[in-house]
């Protein structure tokens, strides 16, 4: 499956990536590049990756999800992975993958709520400590 068959939609400031079937390693790498390119071109502030239709995830795909979250963070965008099937979660644990830096949610609604909260927090002005006023 080509990464170009994985839809990426921009809704407001959020890119929604819907992985609709199991994907090979090459497609995962291409998808990573597309997501980063779209963040750059559209100034998206968040990425929601829906994996609810994935029946399996290998160690490479698991690491790439973690890498995508790290890379999007460097580009000042938040990432949430939603819809992880129980079998996928079990496989990731059995493979010893922790998906560090990857936030997860049960479904798209929860994922969007998390992203909205994080974007709101980033918009808040920085409060200076008392000793910084001097």
Query: pLDDT by residue (tens digit) across 64-96?
Result: 888 999 999 999 999 999 999 999 899 889 888
End-to-end CA distance of the chain: 59
CATH of domain 3-132: 3.30.750.24
pLDDT score, position 23: 84
Spacing of C-alpha 117 from chain mean position: 15
Buried/exposed 34-49: b ≥16 CB within 10 Å, e otherwise: bbbebbeeeebbbbbb
C-alpha triplet 124, 128, 134: angle, nearest 5°: 155
pTM for this predicted structure? 0.85
- Cβ proximity of 73 and 36 under 8 Å: no
pLDDT at 27 over 70: yes
Model confidence at 122, pLDDT cuts 50, 70, 90, reads confident
């Amino acid at each position: 499956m080509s990464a170009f068959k994985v839809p990426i939609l921009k809704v407001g400031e959020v890119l929604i990536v819907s992985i609709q079937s199991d994907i090979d390693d090459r497609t995962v790498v291409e998808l990573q590049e597309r997501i980063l390119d779209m963040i750059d071109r559209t100034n998206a502030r968040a990425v929601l990756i829906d994996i609810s239709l994935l029946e399996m995830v290998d160690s490479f795909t698991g690491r790439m999800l973690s890498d995508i979250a790290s890379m999007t963070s460097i580009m000042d965008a938040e990432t949430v992975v939603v819809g992880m099937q129980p079998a996928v979660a079990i496989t990731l644990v059995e493979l010893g993958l922790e998906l560090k830096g990857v936030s997860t949610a049960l479904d798209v609604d929860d994922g969007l709520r998390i992203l909205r909260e994080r974007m709101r927090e980033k918009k808040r002005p920085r409060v200076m400590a008392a000793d910084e006023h001097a």
